[in-house]
């Protein structure tokens, strides 16, 4: 009797867990589809990367590029078939339709895919759509729409969107001019390795632009830690020149020529000041 009761209890638990096991299998299936989609995206992206590597040495409509472009297009389409919710596949397929001269490309399809990917929250698509909308066209209030999508990408700390929004705030183009917001955008973009943002931030510092409190508070926190290690307030004070140098080094590390030029100018200026001090 005891054995029968135990068996009945076990069977009851198994039947109650049927729904949870079904949900688990669903989640496992979604993971499998996403993994397959990412494999297709990787293959398509590799093909496009090869196209970008050689496209400067041939005509845009060179037939020798067609096999690579077809490979990219087909793999991105297969990725969407495997997982229709994958925003990366939508974004890259939109690029194939809109940017490259691939047989069967349709700019209208590309635009629709780009909008879908942006609305689904893909930061690359949001940035690309924001850039597209900033181009002069017949649409009403395209600047406001562009700003909307750029802000969406900025919310996800997309470096290109951060840099572009920083430039918008710096120039006051379609928004109120805000140097502090521009510096914040340039700083966050440079932290992610964006060379242009690093140059913009460093050059503004050398012009004497005041660093906003939203950025200095991070230095204050680091300073508190430094004081615990026995460093003086003077040694942890923010030095605009040294901070600018750090930004130029980011650009130089990314292979940006202006980064090397700014570093060279700083070095020359330091040598000049040292020479003047010695002569006195």
212: in domain: yes
pTM higher than 0.95, yes or no? no
- Give residue 4's region: left, alpha or beta (phi > 0; psi -120 to 50): alpha
State residue 133's pLDDT score.
Answer: 86
In this structure, the answer to whether residues 173 and 98 fall within a common structural domain is no
Place of tokens 């009761």: 5
Place of tokens 């729409």: 145
Q: Nearest Cα to 201, choosing from 193, 154, 150? A: 193
Residues 82, 37: Cα–Cα separation, whole Å:
6
In this structure, the answer to whether residues 115 and 206 fall within a common structural domain is no
235: in domain: yes
7: in domain: no
On whether the CB atoms of residues 164 and 196 are closer than 8 A, the answer is no
Range of the domain at 147: 34-156
10: in domain: no
Which of 104, 123, 156 represents a domain boundary (last residue)? Answer: 156
State residue 230's pLDDT score.
Answer: 46
Residues 188, 215: Cα–Cα separation, whole Å:
10
State residue 218's pLDDT score.
Answer: 54
Task: Tell me the helices (H) and strands (E) count for the chain, helix number first.
Answer: 14, 0
CATH number at residue 205: 1.25.40.10
Question: What is the gyration radius of the CA atoms in the chain, in angstroms?
Answer: 27
Contacts of 184 by beta carbon, 8 Å cutoff, 6+ apart: 166, 212, 214, 215
Number of domains in the chain: 2
In this structure, the answer to whether residues 167 and 137 fall within a common structural domain is no
Q: What is the pLDDT along the chain (280 residues), one digit of tens a residue?
A: 444 443 344 334 444 544 455 555 555 555 678 899 999 999 999 999 999 999 888 887 888 999 999 999 999 999 999 999 999 999 999 999 999 988 889 999 999 999 999 999 999 999 999 988 877 555 545 778 888 999 999 999 999 999 999 998 999 877 889 999 999 999 999 999 999 999 999 999 999 888 887 777 655 444 443 444 444 444 445 788 899 999 999 999 999 999 999 999 999 888 887 777 776 6
Residue 65 carries which DSSP code?
G
State residue 30's pLDDT score.
Answer: 59
State residue 189's pLDDT score.
Answer: 96
**pLDDT tens-digit profile of 108-159?**
999 999 999 999 999 999 999 998 887 755 554 577 888 899 999 999 999 9
In this structure, the answer to whether residues 150 and 48 fall within a common structural domain is yes
In this structure, the answer to whether residues 98 and 200 fall within a common structural domain is no
Place of tokens 């050398």: 206
In this structure, the answer to whether residues 44 and 83 fall within a common structural domain is yes
Q: Nearest Cα to 207, choosing from 185, 177, 183, 173? A: 183
Structure tokens, 209: 């632009």
18: in domain: no
Place of tokens 């076990």: 10
In this structure, the answer to whether residues 80 and 182 fall within a common structural domain is no
9: in domain: no
State residue 227's pLDDT score.
Answer: 44
Which of 98, 131, 156 represents a domain boundary (last residue)? Answer: 156
What sign does the dihedral 267-272-274-275 (CA atoms) show?
A: positive
State residue 154's pLDDT score.
Answer: 94
In this structure, the answer to whether residues 170 and 65 fall within a common structural domain is no
In this structure, the answer to whether residues 99 and 201 fall within a common structural domain is no
Residues 125, 111: Cα–Cα separation, whole Å:
10
In this structure, the answer to whether residues 192 and 275 fall within a common structural domain is yes
CA 28 to chain centre: 29
In this structure, the answer to whether residues 198 and 227 fall within a common structural domain is yes
State residue 58's pLDDT score.
Answer: 85
Residues 24, 162: Cα–Cα separation, whole Å:
39
In this structure, the answer to whether residues 172 and 135 fall within a common structural domain is no
Residues 119, 56: Cα–Cα separation, whole Å:
33
3: in domain: no
Secondary structure of residue 232 in the 3-state scheme: coil
Give the CA-trace dihedral at 15, 16, 18, 21, to 10 degrees.
-130
24: in domain: no
Which of 156, 191, 215 represents a domain boundary (last residue)? Answer: 156
Residue ranges of the alpha helices (H) in 55-158?
A: 66-82, 87-99, 107-119, 123-134, 142-155
């Amino acid at each position: 009797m005891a054995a029968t009761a135990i068996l009945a209890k076990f069977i009851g638990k198994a039947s109650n867990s049927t729904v949870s096991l079904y949900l688990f299998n669903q989640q496992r299936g979604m993971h499998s589809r996403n993994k397959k989609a990412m494999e297709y995206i990787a293959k398509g992206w590799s093909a496009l990367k090869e196209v970008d590597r050689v496209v400067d040495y041939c005509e845009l409509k060179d037939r020798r590029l067609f096999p690579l472009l077809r490979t990219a297009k087909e793999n991105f389409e297969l990725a969407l078939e495997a997982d229709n919710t994958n925003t990366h596949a939508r974004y890259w397929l939109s690029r194939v339709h809109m940017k490259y001269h691939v047989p069967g490309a349709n700019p209208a399809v590309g635009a629709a895919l780009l909008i879908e990917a942006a609305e689904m929250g893909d930061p690359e698509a949001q940035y690309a759509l924001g850039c597209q909308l900033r181009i002069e066209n017949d649409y009403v209030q395209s600047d406001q729409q562009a700003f909307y999508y750029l802000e969406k990408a900025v919310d996800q700390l997309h470096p290109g969107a951060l840099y572009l929004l920083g430039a918008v705030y710096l120039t006051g183009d379609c928004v109120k001019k805000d140097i502090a917001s521009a510096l914040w955008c340039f700083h966050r973009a440079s932290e992610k390795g964006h060379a242009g943002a690093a140059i913009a931030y460093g050059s503004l510092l050398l012009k004497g632009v005041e660093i906003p409190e939203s950025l200095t508070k991070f230095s204050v926190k680091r300073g508190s830690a430094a004081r615990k290690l026995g460093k003086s307030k003077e040694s942890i004070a923010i030095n605009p020149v040294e901070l600018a140098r750090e930004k130029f080094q980011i650009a130089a590390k990314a292979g940006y020529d202006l980064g090397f030029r700014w570093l060279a100018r700083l070095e020359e200026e330091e040598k000049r000041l040292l020479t003047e001090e010695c002569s006195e």
